[in-house]
Amino acid sequence: MKKYYLLPLLLLMIACGSKQNTRTSRTTKTTTRTTSSATNSNAKAEQIISYAKSFEGVKYRYGGTSRSGMDCSGLIFTSFQQAGLQLPRVSRDMATRGKAISLSEINPGDLLFFQTNKSRNVINHVGLIVSNSGGEIAFIHATTSRGVIVSKLTENYWRSAFVGARRVL
């Protein structure tokens, strides 16, 4: 009689174990997909950043999109374009794309938007995040005085002009 009680218990244990393995397998596949998507996004961000950095030192030119002269939105526009991604040409229009994010969510490849002319209530400057190390956010952009450079958001000027950040990748 004791054998008959053990058989259903044994079958129940085997069935539960099998179900557990199926769940683990599904979780692994989902994790792999998410990691793969994040890896693709990171690779695209690195490609965009590398291209933008190739313009460091290029002088500022209003409306410029080449090595002979570059403006802030031109730098972002051409950097994303070479990676096969289309953004609007003007910074205030770029600020409507993607998803708004907080500074605590910032990753390389995200965009920062600024209002440098306080008398006009309009976004007029954009930068591309190149790194975020311990909350020290560095971004590449084109300035009228120094051309294409990397700055930090902790600098007083940029911190006071900061409007928001967006993720477009």
Measure Cα distances from 99 to 35, 36, 110, 129 in Å. Answer: 20, 20, 10, 15
Measure Cα distances from 128 to 33, 60, 106, 149, 169 in Å. Answer: 27, 16, 11, 11, 12
Helices 72-82, 2-53: inter-axial angle, 10-degree rounding? 130
- Residues tagged active-site: 72, 125, 141
**32: DSSP letter:** H
Residue 20, both tokens: 């557990």
